[in-house]
């Protein structure tokens, strides 16, 4: 059962095989609640989004991105995913943006809920809004039901080396028609060490509302995403606190 690593939150979803913040959420809930653990599954998709938002912030400086996602789910509950993205830069054409590796284990309970936990490692190039081209790793634990799912992430170096952070999120997916889905997300990032460089970091709240429509192997989606700033928690520009993200995903 493919379990998303929760990387994006505004490429409209969550399938982390990393298709996008609506597609991701749809894949996350759908696979956790309906996938059979009896057979191995391989998944792949290609997505294009008008912006690449992660927890409310643009990683692509508000520029369009293309993403390739690959995932594998073993019969014993182990899963893994790889995601790579490129960005349409202003002056240098298409350039590498980010690369993610995700691995974990999921267990279906007799109650119908699914528990999962794992690690996700993210690396971003100098063409991202994190201009230093940095990387970080998060450990996560989550639980998913039919309509709701939740995860908690902990990182020892999310903001900078030696600065621990915790991120909690709640996601919802509602099928309003056979091929139409509504999704919602709310998350909060907080530093475990609230002081850095003489300043006090504050919590940051992000949210997203999205709708997705399936056309066979193609999913078209749009998301409205927002962010309530703390105090320079990320130390890079948000490129708008609220914005619409348009995207299309093709399942290979």
Phi, psi of 16 (to 5 degrees): -15, 25
* pLDDT in the model for residue 2: 41
Spatial distance between the Cα atoms of 180 and 26, rounded to a whole number of angstroms: 11
Element counts in the chain: helices (H) and strands (E): 1, 16
Domain ranges of the chain: 23-251
Contact indicator for 108, 93 with CB cutoff of 8 Å = no
pLDDT tens, residue by residue, 99-152: 999 999 999 999 999 999 999 999 999 888 765 557 889 999 999 999 999 999
Cα torsion angle, 150, 19, 97, 99, sign = positive
Q: How many CA atoms lie within 13 A of 179 on its CB side?
A: 8
Structure tokens at 10: 């505004």
Could you report the per-residue pLDDT of 157-198, keeping only the tens digit for each? 886 777 788 999 999 999 999 899 999 999 999 888 765 554
**pTM higher than 0.95 for the full model?**
no
On whether the 23-251 domain is CATH 3.40.50.720, my answer is: no
Q: What is the pLDDT of residues 26-44, one digit of tens each?
A: 444 444 444 444 568 999 9
Alpha-carbon distance 98 to 66, whole Å? 10
d(CA 247, CA 222): 6
First to last CA, the chain: 17
Round to whole Å and give the CA distance between 20 and 9. Answer: 7
Name the residue among 191, 187, 193 with its Cα closest to residue 205: 187
* Those residues with Cβ within 8 angstroms of residue 93's Cβ, 6 or more apart along the chain or in another chain: none
């Amino acid at each position: 059962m493919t379990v998303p690593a929760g990387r994006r939150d505004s490429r409209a979803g969550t399938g982390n095989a990393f298709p996008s913040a609506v597609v991701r959420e749809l894949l996350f809930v759908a696979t956790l609640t309906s996938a059979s653990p009896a057979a191995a599954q391989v998944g792949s998709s290609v997505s294009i989004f008008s912006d690449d938002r992660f927890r409310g912030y643009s990683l692509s400086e508000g520029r369009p991105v293309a993403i390739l996602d690959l995932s594998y789910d073993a019969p014993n509950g182990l899963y893994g995913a790889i995601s790579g993205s490129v960005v349409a830069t202003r002056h240098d054409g298409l350039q590498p943006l980010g690369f993610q590796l995700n691995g974990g284990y999921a267990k279906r309970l007799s109650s119908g809920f699914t528990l999962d936990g794992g690690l996700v490692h993210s690396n971003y190039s100098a063409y991202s809004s994190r201009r230093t081209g940095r990387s970080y790793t998060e450990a996560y634990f989550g639980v998913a039901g039919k309509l709701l799912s939740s995860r908690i992430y902990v990182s020892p170096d999310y903001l900078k080396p030696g600065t621990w952070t915790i991120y909690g999120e709640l996601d919802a997916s509602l099928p309003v028609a056979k091929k139409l889905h509504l999704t919602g997300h709310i998350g909060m990032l907080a530093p475990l060490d609230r002081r850095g460089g003489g300043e006090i970091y504050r919590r940051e709240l992000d949210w997203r509302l999205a709708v997705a429509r399936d056309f066979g192997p193609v999913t078209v989606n749009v998301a409205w995403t927002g962010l309530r700033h703390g105090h320079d928690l990320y130390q890079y520009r948000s490129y708008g606190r609220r914005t619409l993200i348009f995207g299309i995903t093709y399942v290979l």
